[in-house]
Structure 1
Amino acid sequence: MRSLSDVETVGVVGAGTMGNGIAQVAAAAGYDVVMRDIERSFVDDGLDSIDDSLSRLADEDALSESPETIRGRLTGTTDLGDLADADLVVEAAVEDVDVKREIFADLDEITDDDVVLATNTSTLSITTIAAATERPELVVGVHFMNPVPIMDGVEVVVGEHTADEVTALAHEFAADLDKETWESDDKPGFVTNRVLMPWINEGIRAFDEGVATRDDLDRGMKLGTNVPMGPLELADHIGLDICLDASQTLHEELGDRYKPAYLLKRKVDAGKLGKKTGEGFYEYE
């Protein structure tokens, strides 16, 4: 396998919220980045999001280089074959195990045999995804937090076959992106979502049952437990559809204590997905 010093080009599969965030922080850390999605409009939207984010960070004097310099390291594509020369690949596609396994099988064919393939999955089994390849020892989880350019943490997830050297590389890569890491075994939900999703769902149930108003529920959790966001506000920022997908996966794996709240499902069915659609539990500009 390649060491971090060998990594010059990072491939990112997926140009959505997580993919373009990962691409941005990798480019800001000095890596050349090739970001791929299945449609050109998705790629363009991802690049536009990066431009907007870099502009905001520049206004806050939070960049060590100009947005133009960082943006110059980024290339967008719809051809997975353009990742053939990547020295490390991070997949951030839709949270669907069949989709991810197909991507990893293709990456296994396209990339060199010693390239580490990482997945940004937040709930799915690293071992199951890795089984689609001929190099399961080189597959690892690197679960970035949203929004990637702002959040400091990355969860490194170790599959059944993940080599110790690959786990170490994942920690080193995240640190090079100015992130702090913690490690989880390949169990459903890992650390973050295993604890977070029941908290969010119980907050939604409490609101739905009239325990408190929306504002009082979130304010009570912030003031009472010293978290920066209450469960309803945080769910809006994560995306209610993402919370629902994660909760459903955990419900299947771990039982009824992870059952999604009814109001969460209703909001998603109504297309009220949170901040990204302008309305969830709160309304946004």
Structure 2
Amino acid sequence: MEEIKTIGVVGAGQMGSGIAQLAAVHGFDVWLLDSDPNALGRATEVISNSIQRLISKGQLPQAVGTDAPKSIHCTTRLEDFSAADFVIEAIAESEAVKKKIFSEVDKITKSSAILASNTSSISITRLASATSRPHKVSELGIVLLLCSDISTLSLLVLLISIWFISFEMYVHGCCLTWRDDFLVNCLPAGICGVTSDKLYLILQVIGMHFMNPPPIMKLVEIIRGADTSDTTFNATKSLAERFGKTTVCSQDYSGFIVNRILMPMINEAFFTLYTGVATKEDIDEGMKLGTNQPMGPLELADFIGLDVCLSILRVLHAGLGDMKYAPCPLLVQYVDAGRLGRKSGIGVYDYRRAPTIAKQLTRL
């Protein structure tokens, strides 16, 4: 695995700009991609303001804060990702849109690059199906040089076996590389002297779910797809730790860990409001003081984005089939009305008329 020096971030929204800032302040060269130049301009301003706040609070050294923005290169050209060692996708929570981006990024980036998604609920295995990470097999020749005591016949069998395996992997968009246990399972028995430390099927696609806002929140949720390799997982975990984050690992099931638990709570808060059990203020106050949470579930939903909450609940409902994940009609209605939360100025709360709440959320 190559050393990670250059990071590409797809999407200049709230999450993408936060991830770009995080990478830059930790010494990485960052390319921030968005198709909208205006979004890139807003992201640059948001990053600059965020860095200045951290400096003023003594949470970031002045020198680091001065140098970090210089490491962020904004672009609308996907081709600028050609040198990226690690790419993090942070766009809309839509499987179709994410797959399209992964397919395009896969064609541009070098074969050794790891592709990560910041998805909060969508299957990493399905996203990975849009890629072929990596698709070069020329390194296989090195294996033959490292295998000792192979007779001519055994060598011929090995070459034929590699050809068949390579062809199968090409058809399925996969690749051969190194691991400790692959030959035993994949190559025919009786190949003398071939130890089990030469080849393996690797998938360089993984989930890397940052919490919002990425520069502040301490957790990164790492999600392994069905075929994500140990090398990819370890490199991603190491990168998160270089960012100063604590990691948890989830298998590839809808919602992973955090949102599988969090979203039903938010959904139930909407049902509590929808059925008239209590006011929005009392629901949030009760949960904050009663369960020692910094924000109530409805405030938190506004902060996350009601459209994002709805999208995650739909993924959970479709993927797990349990009615407890069926979105509350009130949540659906708010999203249909364009009440998306803090980012649109109104959600459960009206931030145009409630500057106190908006100010409290800004401090998080």
For Structure 1 versus Structure 2, the TM-score category normalised by the shorter chain is over 0.9
Whole-angstrom CA distance in 2 between matches of 1:108 and 1:252: 28
Q: 2:343 aligns with which of 269, 276, 283?
A: 276
Q: Secondary structure at the match of 2:87?
A: strand
Q: One-letter code of the match for 2:54?
A: L
Equivalent residue pairs, number: 282
User: What is aligned with 2:180?
Assistant: none
User: What is aligned with 1:124?
Assistant: 122
Whole-angstrom CA distance in 1 between matches of 2:99 and 2:294: 35
User: What is aligned with 1:229?
Assistant: 295
User: What is aligned with 2:111?
Assistant: 113
Q: Is the 8 A contact 2:120 2:312 kept in 1?
A: yes
Q: One-letter code of the match for 1:82?
A: D
Q: 1:73 aligns with which of 59, 63, 71?
A: 71
User: What is aligned with 2:8?
Assistant: 11
- What pairs with 1:83-102 in structure 2 (closer than 5 Å)? 83-102=81-100
User: What is aligned with 1:157?
Assistant: 223
Whole-angstrom CA distance in 2 between matches of 1:251 and 1:41: 35
Whole-angstrom CA distance in 1 between matches of 2:104 and 2:5: 21
User: What is aligned with 2:282?
Assistant: 216
Q: What RMSD, in angstroms, separates the aligned Cα atoms of the two structures?
A: 1.2
Radius of gyration: which is bigger? Answer: 2
Q: 2:258 aligns with which of 192, 217, 220?
A: 192
**How far has the Cα of 1:102 moved from its partner?**
1.5
Q: Is the 8 A contact 2:6 2:28 kept in 1?
A: yes
**How far has the Cα of 1:67 moved from its partner?**
2.9
**How far has the Cα of 1:36 moved from its partner?**
0.1
Q: Secondary structure at the match of 1:12?
A: strand
TM-score by length of 1: 0.96
**How far has the Cα of 1:66 moved from its partner?**
4.4
- What pairs with 1:168-207 in structure 2 (closer than 5 Å)? 168-207=234-273
Whole-angstrom CA distance in 1 between matches of 2:233 and 2:252: 12
Q: One-letter code of the match for 1:268?
A: V
Q: One-letter code of the match for 1:259?
A: A
User: What is aligned with 2:17?
Assistant: 20
| In the alignment, structure 1 residue 266 sits paired with structure 2 residue 333 | yes
Q: 1:51 aligns with which of 38, 48, 53?
A: 48
Whole-angstrom CA distance in 2 between matches of 1:259 and 1:203: 13
The answer to which of 64-73 and 50-59 deviates more is 64-73
The runs of 5 or more residues in structure 2 that have no matched partner are 134-173, 175-202, 356-364
Whole-angstrom CA distance in 1 between matches of 2:347 and 2:339: 5
User: What is aligned with 1:148?
Assistant: 214
Whole-angstrom CA distance in 2 between matches of 1:114 and 1:38: 25
Identical residues among aligned pairs (%): 46
Whole-angstrom CA distance in 1 between matches of 2:253 and 2:261: 12
**How far has the Cα of 1:13 moved from its partner?**
0.6
Whole-angstrom CA distance in 2 between matches of 1:59 and 1:240: 31
List structure 1 segments (4+ residues) > 6 angstroms apart after TM superposition.
none
User: What is aligned with 2:137?
Assistant: none
Q: One-letter code of the match for 2:294?
A: P
**How far has the Cα of 1:169 moved from its partner?**
1.1
The answer to which of 105-114 and 16-25 deviates more is 105-114
Q: Is the 8 A contact 1:159 1:186 kept in 2?
A: yes
Whole-angstrom CA distance in 2 between matches of 1:109 and 1:204: 43
The answer to which of 137-146 and 255-264 deviates more is 255-264
Whole-angstrom CA distance in 2 between matches of 1:280 and 1:55: 29
Q: One-letter code of the match for 1:125?
A: S
Spell out, residue by residue over 1:222-269, the C-alpha distance to the aligned partner (whole angstroms, 9 max, x if none).
122122211101101101111011111111222221111111111112
TM-score by length of 2: 0.75
Q: Is the 8 A contact 2:25 2:64 kept in 1?
A: no
| In the alignment, structure 1 residue 134 sits paired with structure 2 residue 142 | no
User: What is aligned with 2:58?
Assistant: 61
Q: Is the 8 A contact 1:58 1:66 kept in 2?
A: no
Spell out, residue by residue over 1:177-201, the C-alpha distance to the aligned partner (whole angstroms, 9 max, x if none).
1111100000011001111111100
